């Protein structure tokens, strides 16, 4: 009798990763791919605009010697970027589910 071949931890992890990767199981249409790219571009622009705006405010606060305000602005920037990234991911998930993104 031949002993069953045991899979390595690496092989098991790769199988789990393949099973959990939505891009492996969902075939996107060309329109969906284009819409995902548009969403990425839209949110990259929003993120860049927020970074520029906050960087200017942070630099001004530091120039004025108001380091507490600068720290508060940095935290607001982190929060704003996190929200934008969450919104972007939600929009992309809608497209992947075959729903129309309206944003």
Q: What is the DSSP string of 82-93?
A: HHHHHHHHHHHH
pLDDT at residue 88, as a whole number: 95
- Per-residue pLDDT, averaged over 64-86, amounts to 97
- Which of 41, 12, 11, 34 shows the shortest CA–CA distance to 95? 34
| Residue-wise pLDDT tens digits, 22-67 | 555 568 889 999 999 999 999 999 999 999 999 999 999 999 999 9
pLDDT at residue 103, as a whole number: 64
State the number of CA atoms in the 13 A half-sphere of 56 facing the CB.
5
**DSSP code of residue 102:** -
What are the structural domain ranges in the chain?
A: 28-96
pLDDT at residue 20, as a whole number: 63
């Amino acid at each position: 009798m031949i002993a069953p071949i045991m899979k390595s931890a690496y092989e098991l992890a790769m199988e789990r990763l393949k099973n959990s990767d939505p891009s492996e199981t969902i075939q996107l249409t060309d329109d969906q791919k284009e819409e995902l790219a548009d969403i990425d571009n839209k949110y990259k622009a929003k993120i860049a605009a927020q970074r520029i705006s906050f960087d200017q405010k942070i630099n001004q606060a530091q120039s004025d010697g108001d380091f507490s305000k600068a720290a508060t602005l940095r935290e607001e920037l982190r929060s704003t970027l996190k929200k934008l990234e969450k919104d972007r991911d939600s929009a992309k998930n809608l497209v992947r589910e075959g729903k129309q993104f309206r944003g």
